[in-house]
Structure 1
């Protein structure tokens, strides 16, 4: 029987680089609009610099305030991976700081997503390496385990599987299953084009169609008093 709660899956199927790169210029907000508007990660998990995030998820599940498995992930993840750490939202001990971030840069990882805390935040803001976290705390972590690597985890209210495509910008984060990505990409591109047309018309002084506002109010029985 496998050792539930304390196990490592060393590898998983990653999406093609070509598929991942299709998301490079797509805003997280527009992706979420085409995923039911219920798929973005909890807004409490914020970017700590302006670097955009994109890559396949390398998932890690750790106990509150313990980063043993996070360290092991640094040894196992591959170039271009996003290390996604499920830390139960605990923010009273940092799970990583400047040294781990710079090690990840050396290994050419794509970024960190941490449902927990980080430290050395001043340095983090100056890195060309995307880091998303729930908070900042100078208290350091324990290194005892247990934990799991490359299992499905919950981060910021969303489930993420190893190999899911992680997209992050200054608005926030979203995870996309690779098998759902091709159709989603086409929808988001069409959505983007429509937005560009609207903005172009506004620049020309052409107003938007606003009839839907009154129709919705009427359909929902809103009373209008003049």
Structure 2
């Protein structure tokens, strides 16, 4: 993944950007975790201030995939913490993108995964188990579908309908 650059991908895939087959997420995410660059197929999740299903998905084999969580942009609690960051690493997830907040930043920064989130927040989420797995989501004005590919580095985040050549 280190050789893949999102800026270069944008330059070499102008036609895919124009058609919408490659989309650039708004630059609203903070970088966490040890992996500054990561990529993989997307698993989608839609929740609001409730992280029970986040844990359920991270308990499954990641196989290099990326969990993209539409948390509704809530800034009132965290959807991912240090224990779940370690779980994601242990289960083989490449990364987690949260349209919401995380907590236990120092612990997550010690994990060998890539994490992007809007901010950190010390309060934990609700535990009702409400949410939807494997559904189309909208993050920052961009629709994201299960099975698409995500590429993240220090310049930003791309979502592609298909795997891009590195």
**Larger of the two Rg values belongs to structure:** 1
Structure 2 CA distance for aligned equivalents of residues 170 and 83 of structure 1 = 18
Deviation (angstroms), 1:62: 0.3
Q: Which runs of 5+ in 1 are unaligned?
A: 1-22, 190-226
- C-alpha contact (below 8 Å) 1:85/1:114 kept by paired residues: yes
Q: Cα gap change, 1:77/1:163 in structure 2, threshold over 3 Å: closer, same or farther?
A: farther
RCO higher in structure (CA 8 A, sep ≥6): 2
TM-score (norm 1): 0.64
Aligned position for 1:69 = 53
Deviation (angstroms), 1:127: 2.5
Deviation (angstroms), 1:50: 5.1
Aligned position for 2:109 = 125
Q: Cα gap change, 1:125/1:159 in structure 2, threshold over 3 Å: closer, same or farther?
A: same
Higher helix share: 1
Higher strand share: 2
Match of 1:152 among 116, 136, 154: 136
- C-alpha contact (below 8 Å) 1:47/1:132 kept by paired residues: yes
TM-score (norm 2): 0.86
**CA RMSD, aligned part only?**
2.1
- Please say if 1:161 is aligned against 2:145: yes
Q: Which runs of 5+ in 2 are unaligned?
A: none
